[in-house]
Amino acid sequence: MSETQNREQLTTSGGAPVGDNQNSITAGSRGPTLIQDVHLLEKLAHFNRERIPERVVHAKGAGAHGYFEVTNDVSPYTKAKFLNKVGKRTPVFTRFSTVAGERGSADTVRDPRGFAVKFYTEDGNYDLVGNNTPVFFLRDAIKFPDFIHTQKRNPATNMKDPNAVWDFFSLSPESLHQVTILHTDRGIPATYRHMHGFGSHTFKWTNEEGNSVWVKYHFKSEQGIKNIDEETGNKIAGENPDYKTGDLYEAIEKGSYPSWKVYVQIMPLEEAQTYRFDPFDVTKVWSQKDYPLIEVGRMVLDQNPENYFAEVEQAAFSPGRFVPGIEASPDKMLQGRLFAYSDAHRYRLGANHEALPVNRPRVQVNNYQRDGLMRFDGNGGGKPNYEPNSYGGPAEDPNSKGAPLEVSGYADSVRYDESDYYTQAGDLYRLLDNEEKARLVKNIVESMKTVEKDEIKLRQIEHFSKADPEYGQLVAEGLGLKVPEIV
Ligand code: NDP
């Protein structure tokens, strides 16, 4: 038997057998090439269209399939079906990422890491689109595009721009807590397996009786925390920019499945009114002394994707993808993300991106949305495409409605409470031992030393000083500057 007899037939996209995939059709042996070679045309044309727009943020990522298993009964707090029984398992797909770099950028840079989990539940998909940090730089989505511009490339030089980074941070003091976390040892996790994950925002859980609580999610790595320093990160970035991508893939391939213990903090609904700060402000954590961690379950990643583009590049997570029992909170940053993520996917992947295999819910989807580019399922067949209708189209279930939330106030462009940018950044600083503090200061000084304007450096030093006078003093010394007088 010849070798070709054991192989599948090569076909055109139209399914017709291809006779020759090595030699284009030419007029004689020296050409020119004939336009009637439609197989050649199709090959070249498809190749030109291989790239889809990369994500503006979180472009470089790695992902894996696995499961989530409930280990503690949280049904008194939420009616989410996938959480209603100890031992229940739900398939997940999880994507880790860096934030600022492009698709080909290095894995080992100082940057927050994305930590996005898609739960394929019996009530449809639930996406928890978090980071490896419990807080964020901003708390109002209106600042997000400006912030990301400072993390990307300078419009003139097309290079990363520390001036823009520190100018923006120093003029946006709500960023100080996250800036501090980012420059601690945890700012460069050794691998995607050795970092925690956080839902970061506050969410609402509602139980069968219609009673709600506020929650925050914590995923604690069962591999433990492991970090690398800047020098090691830079060295690995030069030698193997895909280091963490490879680490995740190889660990799963070897059967060493990474896992995370999942916890929540729960705040009674009414305590949000009286807590000492706005609990929906994503630049702040809830003290674990006030709201201790409650175990929920365990996430295990045990299967690599078979195809990176199909499963990782096309994976579309949205913080607005909730299931009954889990809802949004008033967090203004979350509110902006509820729109922005699905909108990004509509741009990158099209209006029907939820029908792609990695995004497709594992339950039947019934609605009145029809048509659109790349509608590749049955498009609802002949079923009614409008509601109300008398023809048996899908009907709503009032039990799946979210719990009502009382709100008050005037519609206005209102600032968050500005009274405290500093306490929690200072708490974190004081939690570090002396060596960790020294490394934090060194990392900040290294990043700030190329900033051109002293005015920017001094403004930022003032913020560090307000968090903790020693913190400000050490950064100022590292930069050869004096702490400005704080009024
Ligand atoms: P707690 O002592 O109860 O909690 C401290 C938390 O800090 C633990 O979750 C610990 O995580 C984490 N942590 C330790 N070292 C670092 C680090 N280098 N970078 C980031 N996190 C670290 O205190 P509070 O709840 O009062 O919080 C104090 C400070 O801890 C906060 O200001 C915040 O910056 C930080 N933090 C708080 C979290 C929270 O949910 N309250 C979550 C993460 C950080 P681990 O057990 O894994 O070491």
pLDDT along the chain (487 residues), means of 10: 78 97 97 97 97 97 98 98 98 98 97 98 98 98 98 97 98 98 98 98 97 98 98 98 98 98 98 95 97 98 98 98 98 97 97 97 97 93 97 95 92 85 97 98 97 97 98 98 85
Beta carbons within 8 Å of 146's beta carbon, 6+ residues apart: 168
Protein residues with CB under 6 Å of any ligand 1 atom: 134, 181, 184-186, 196, 225, 285-289, 424, 427-428, 431
**Would you tell me the crossing angle of helices 469-479 and 434-448 to the nearest 10 degrees?**
50
Residue 261 Cα to ligand 1 midpoint, Å, equals: 16
Ligand 1: which atom is nearest the Cα of residue 290?
Answer: 25
Give the strand pairing for 203-206 and 197-198: unpaired
pLDDT in the model for residue 416: 84
Residues labelled catalytic: 58, 131
How far is Cα 458 from Cα 462, in angstroms, rounded to an integer? 6
Give the pLDDT score at 1: 46
Q: Which atom from ligand 1 is nearest to the alpha carbon of 265?
A: 40
Give the tens place of pLDDT for each residue, 59-95.
999 999 999 999 999 999 999 999 999 999 999 999 9
Give dist(CA 420, CA 283) in Å, integer. Answer: 10
- For residue 2, the model assigns a pLDDT of 56
3-state SS record for the chain: CCHHHHCCCCECCCCCECCCCCCCCECCCCCCECCCCHHHHHHHHHHHCCCCCCCCCCCCEEEEEEEEEECCCCCCCCCCHHHCCCCCEEEEEEEEEECCCCCCCCCCCCCCEEEEEEEEEECEEEEEEEECCCCCCCCCHHHHHHHHHHHCECCCCCCECHHHHHHHHHHCHHHHHHHHHHHCHHHCECCCCCCCEECCCCEEEECCCCCEEEEEEEEEECCCCCECCHHHHHHHHHHCCCHHHHHHHHHHHCCCCCEEEEEEEEEECCHHHHCCCCCCCCCCCCCCCCCCCEEEEEEEEEECCCCHHHHHHCCCCCCCCCCCCEEECCCHHHHHHHHHHHHHHHHHCCCCHHHCCCCCCCCCCCCCCCCCCCCCCCCCCCCCCCCCCCCCCCCCCHHHCCCCCCCCCCCCCCCCCCCCCCHHHHHHHHHCCHHHHHHHHHHHHHHHCCCCCHHHHHHHHHHHHHHCHHHHHHHHHHHCCCCCCCC
Q: Is residue 431 classed exposed, middle or buried when 0-12, 13-18 and 19+ CB atoms within 10 A define those classes?
A: exposed
Instruction: Report CA(285)–ligand 1 centroid distance (Å).
Output: 8
Interval between CA 428 and ligand 1 midpoint (Å) = 7
What span, in angstroms and rounded, lies between the C-alpha atoms of 105 and 242?
A: 8
Amino acid sitting at position 172 = S
* Residue in the structure block whose two tokens are 């009674």: 268
- 376 CA → ligand 1 middle, Å: 47
Please choose from 285, 286, 435 the residue to mutate so as to test ligand 1's pocket, defined by most ligand atoms within 8 A of CB.
285
At residue 81, the pLDDT reads 98
